[in-house]
């Protein structure tokens, strides 16, 4: 299924911000999105509340979200499971898990090659607080933010922001991910203890993902990608086919796509 604005002329094919969002209000439970293309929204999917529900508020799989003028997926104190999700070209963050919550993403490609304006936020943002109009800070537990076999990359640096307040829990882990993060001032401080395997296990930093054409939302990876063959097999077996329905149980690649050999021409 394709979800986009009602201007179908070719000139509007990739124009961000033509419609609002898929808004999952607090109390809306057990939502599923699969095999969808969501494009040209302000926020692709906005999920609010219900982080303690017995089943995830949103399960999203085999879905692509492109050209969101603000966020691809924005969770606020919510619970989201994502598998084989590809997000790119977002005016702020492609994935944001904010004000705590519970987020589990496996074999996702969370890229951001936005070039329509200055971008203030990275591809992936995770925090456990919000600030109201009076600059009052409210915190809420981040029960989990697990990124397994994911690519987090883009045309800015760094492409990962982990912000926490001490008043609430902040639980996260990155396993076998490829991440763009090259900032000597942050690395080794706060939440960026990259040598701690309880937080960052087998993570590859700042190596080429070898996307086919990220500025045209073509995020399949080539055989020269640092993600090629670098995924965790246990998580790959939980999501045994990539977004193109190609088996990944033998030599799985990081991200939503198994690699291909690009034509040299």
Contacts from 249-252 at CB under 8 Å and sequence distance 24+? 252/149
CA dihedral of 157, 160, 166, 170, whole degrees rounded to 10: -170
Q: Is it the case that residue 112 has pLDDT exceeding 80?
A: yes
Give me the mean pLDDT over the 107-112 stretch. 98
- Quote the pLDDT of residue 265: 56
In the three-class reduction of DSSP (H, G, I as helix; E, B as strand; rest coil), residue 104 is classed as strand
Identify the H or E element spanning 42: strand 41-48
Domain ranges of the chain: 2-238
Banded pLDDT at 8 (limits 50, 70, 90): confident
Q: How far apart are CA 90 and CA 72, in angstroms?
A: 6
- Quote the pLDDT of residue 194: 97
With a pLDDT cut of 90, the percent of the chain lying above it is 96
Give me the mean pLDDT over the 175-199 stretch. 96
Task: Specify whether the CB–CB gap between 48 and 20 falls below 8 A.
Answer: no
Give me the mean pLDDT over the 17-42 stretch. 97
Note the Cα 21 to chain centre separation in Å. 17
- Quote the pLDDT of residue 263: 83
Convert the pLDDT of each residue in 61-107 to its tens digit. 999 999 999 999 999 999 999 999 999 999 999 999 999 999 999 99
Give me the mean pLDDT over the 15-34 stretch. 97
135 Cβ contact list (under 8 Å, min separation 6): none
196 Cβ contact list (under 8 Å, min separation 6): none
- Quote the pLDDT of residue 7: 87
166 Cβ contact list (under 8 Å, min separation 6): none
Q: How far apart are CA 149 and CA 64, in angstroms?
A: 17
Question: What's the chain's length in residues?
Answer: 265
Residues forming a β-bridge with 38 = 3, 65
* pTM of full prediction above 0.85: yes
Q: Could you tell me whether strands 211-213 and 218-221 are parallel, antiparallel, or unpaired per DSSP bridges? A: antiparallel
Residue position matching structure tokens 């692709």: 44
Phi-psi region of 248 (alpha: psi -120 to 50; beta: other; left: phi over 0): alpha
Q: How far apart are CA 215 and CA 233, in angstroms?
A: 30
Q: Is it the case that residue 168 has pLDDT exceeding 70?
A: yes
- Quote the pLDDT of residue 64: 98
Tell me the two tokens of residue 25. 């209000």
Supply the DSSP symbol for 12.
G
Convert the pLDDT of each residue in 125-159 to its tens digit. 999 999 999 999 999 999 999 999 999 999 999 99
Give me the mean pLDDT over the 33-60 stretch. 97
Tell me the two tokens of residue 261. 């050999």
Convert the pLDDT of each residue in 190-246 to its tens digit. 999 999 999 999 999 999 999 999 999 999 999 999 999 999 999 999 999 999 999
Give me the mean pLDDT over the 17-40 stretch. 97
In 128-217, which ranges are E strands? 129-131, 137-139, 142-148, 151-154, 160-163, 173-175, 178-179, 200-201, 204-205, 211-213
Q: What count of other Cβ atoms lies within 10 Å of the Cβ of residue 4?
A: 19
Q: How far apart are CA 180 and CA 153, in angstroms?
A: 5
Q: How far apart are CA 48 and CA 79, in angstroms?
A: 9
């Amino acid at each position: 299924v394709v979800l986009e604005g009602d201007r179908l002329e070719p000139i509007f094919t990739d124009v961000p911000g033509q419609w609002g969002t898929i808004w999952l209000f607090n109390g809306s439970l057990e939502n599923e999105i699969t095999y969808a293309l969501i494009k040209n929204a302000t926020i692709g999917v906005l999920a609010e509340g219900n982080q303690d529900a017995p089943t995830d508020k949103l399960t999203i799989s085999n879905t692509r979200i492109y050209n969101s003028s603000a966020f691809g997926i924005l969770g606020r104190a919510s619970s989201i499971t994502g598998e084989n999700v590809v997000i790119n070209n977002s005016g702020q963050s492609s994935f944001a898990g904010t004000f705590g919550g519970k987020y589990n993403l496996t074999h996702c490609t969370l890229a951001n090659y936005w070039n329509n304006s200055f971008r203030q936020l990275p591809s992936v943002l995770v925090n456990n607080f919000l600030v109201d109009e009076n600059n009052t800070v409210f915190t809420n537990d981040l029960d989990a933010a697990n990124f397994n076999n994911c690519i987090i990359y883009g045309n800015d640096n760094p492409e990962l922001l982990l912000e926490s307040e001490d008043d609430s829990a902040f639980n996260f882990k990155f396993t076998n991910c490829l991440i763009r993060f090259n900032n000597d001032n942050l690395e080794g401080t706060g939440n960026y203890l990259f040598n701690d395997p309880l937080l960052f296990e087998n993570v590859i930093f700042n190596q080429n993902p070898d996307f086919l054409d990220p500025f045209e939302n073509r995020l399949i990876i080539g055989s020269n990608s640092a993600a090629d063959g670098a995924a965790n097999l246990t998580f790959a077996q939980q999501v045994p086919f990539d977004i193109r329905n190609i088996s990944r149980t033998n030599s799985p690649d990081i991200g939503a796509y198994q690699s291909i050999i690009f034509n040299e021409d």
